[in-house]
Chains A and B, each alone.
Chain A
Amino acid sequence: MKPAQSQHAGAPADLTGLSLLYVEDEAEPRVMVSKMLVLNYPNLTVYSAENGAAGLAAFQEHLPDIVVTDINMPVMDGIQMSRAIKEIRPDALIIAVTAHSDTSYLLNAIQIGIHYYVLKPINYDELFSALDKVLGQLALKQLVELQNRRISESERQLALAQRIAHLGSWQCELPGGSMTWSEEMYRLLDHIQGSQAATLDRFLERVHPEDRDLLQERLAASAATRQPVVPLYCRIRRADASERILKVEATVMSTRKGAPVTLVGTALDVTELKRAEEEVRSLTGALERRVLQRTSLLQASLRELEHFSYLVSHDLRAPVARLEGFCRALVEDCGECRNDNCRTYAERAERVVRQIKSIIGAFNELSHYTRCGMVIGEVDLSALARSIGSDFQRTEPERSVRFHIADGLVVQGDQRLLRIALEHLIGNAWKFTAKKDRASIEFAAQAQEGTRVYFVRDNGAGFDMRYVDKLFKPFQTIHSPGDFTWSGTAIGLATVHSIVLRHGGTIWAEGEVDRGATFFFTLADEPEPGSYYERTH
């Protein structure tokens, strides 16, 4: 016997899990060869048996992958045992160790399916080389099995993914129309897999008749131009008469001119998406109808309001003018009358009439701001505030008021209206700081919850927060007469409110008696230039 070599070219690196049964009736070689096997293939599990019968029993017990067996043995010889083993496990790999070289044994061995022969006395190189070949075969088999498992696993994953996504895939040969469909494709088309060959005709029979021509056209066009199929939606009629919508897309595989074309495509079930789209469309339609309804209602009530303001501005003015005329006549003519009360009453009545006239004027002014057209453009509020501030300073040069005006407050809006609003706000600040030694008026902006909030702040008379709700209502004042110069009819803040509303904004105020007031307002980024009033005049 030659000593075994420690390295074997071509032997698979990993033998974990593989086992070998060595059957030999002579004790000495059995022990010797077993030891050599263990020594040279440390990962291989080696069993041994002393004859065919014991070998068969060991095989049944351990089901080894490889059997190395002597042929001539008592009780049961190697040939008999191998035949029995092959019946138990046809893929068992058998290496025969034999002194025989007569052909009858060999023929038997070939019939049984013994793979390799090693002649006795055993030459280890020969044995190991045979064993390496067998192990190589086993490794290859394992590799193929592993690949197969991987392929079927990814196929299973793909099928599942397609199932979840409701996405079928297909392949179609043109001309001819023979197809292959993925599992999900069968489900989408409501065909049973394996019942009939997949063909374009069987695809088309499920497509809604109105969509069939388009699908055929698109596929044919793609085959002719070798360009991807222009995606399209087809309605699919299932056996139970329910309808699904598929989005069909495909690309061309073969691009050689004249050769048959293979289209590889997908079909995505977009029924729910399409239904949701339909729902959104109908909801949008309903919403638009409701907006129209509301708008016309709003316009109707605004028309009434307009009639009312026309009545106030127009029909009321004439009788008020008459009343004023008679009061004047009284005042003028009662100079001739002896009764002093007469003249006092006439003068007072005349004052009342003037008040009524100024209220009518204010009312008209206010309603003008709610319905006049707006010209939207870029407005530099900082520049406006500075110009308004210096105007006030010019009218009362003796007053010392510090203006703090932030730079670069540029907005979209109506220049004329925004100027009026700022004039009122800064005018209020100017008026209510009249009694302060160190008056200060600030115009700036701050970010509040992502919105730019502009504010006009003063350190003047302020106001009691209890009356804050009255501030923006017309014809209401929260300062007692005589406290500050009477400025007409108290519509300034109502006007500002109206202008801010027209610019899609809101306005609010904070104040404290003797600690100043702050008026905050916001403006829409892009205010609507239109008015709900229809242009009737």
Chain B
Amino acid sequence: MRDRLIVLIEDNADDAYLAMRVIGKVCADRVIVARDGEEASQLLKNLAADGLHSRVRLVLLDLKLPKLSGIEVLQEIRSSELLCGLPVAVLTSSDNDLDQEHCRALGVLDYIYKPMTIDRLQRVLSQDKEP
């Protein structure tokens, strides 16, 4: 089975650490981390260019990001021919950050309140269909 990838877009080091720990408990997938919106955008483009986008099992996207916002990254994903089918789950610490309707319109798989727990991630991954 080919290596699968989880893309974690999270600017806060602690949150990134906690998320990676939970991912490590749940699966053996490789995790690629982007620290801001621009970096994420570039990373996803590179993946597409290298033909690796089909290996992405899940994108965990924090909405509050430096430079490009989470929503903007999401819009880029949905408008890209290669990336538009990626499963994206949104990470948030407060309802205030979450524009649920906007996210739903952009085809978000799920909303995860921080801290993400093992159970929660397992449930999200179980919704995900193999590409």
Contacts and interface: CB of A to CB of B under 8 A. Distances in A.
- Which has the most chain B C-beta neighbours within 10 Å: A313, A325, A328, A332? A325
B117 A328 contact: yes
B114 interface: yes
A325 B115 CA distance: 5
A313 B118 contact: no
24 contacts: A310-B96, A313-B96, A314-B94, A314-B96, A314-B97, A318-B12, A318-B15, A318-B94, A320-B93, A321-B15, A321-B93, A321-B113, A321-B114, A322-B15, A322-B114, A322-B115, A324-B114, A324-B115, A325-B18, A325-B115, A326-B14, A326-B18, A329-B18, A329-B21
A114 B18 CA distance: 141
A326 B115 CA distance: 9
Interface residues of B, number: 16
A322 B94 contact: no
Contact of B93 (A310, A318, A329, A332): A318
A163 interface: no
Interface of A: 310, 313-314, 317-318, 320-322, 324-326, 328-329, 332
A317 B18 contact: no
A321 B116 CA distance: 9
A211 B114 CA distance: 78
A325 B15 contact: yes
Given A324-B115, A325-B115, A317 B15 contact: no
A317 B97 CA distance: 11
Contacts of A322: 12, 14-15, 18, 114-115
Interface in B85-131: 93-94, 96-97, 113-118
Contact of A313 (B21, B94, B115, B117): B94
A333 to B, nearest CB: 9
Contacts of B115: 321-322, 324-325, 328
B126 to A, nearest CB: 20
A534 B14 CA distance: 36
Interface in B10-54: 12, 14-15, 18, 21, 25
A322 B118 CA distance: 15
Contacts of B117: 328
B118 A317 contact: no
Given A314-B97, A325-B14, A332-B118, 20 more contacts: A314-B94, A314-B96, A317-B94, A318-B15, A318-B93, A318-B94, A318-B114, A320-B93, A321-B93, A321-B113, A321-B114, A321-B115, A322-B14, A322-B18, A324-B115, A325-B15, A325-B18, A325-B115, A329-B18, A332-B25
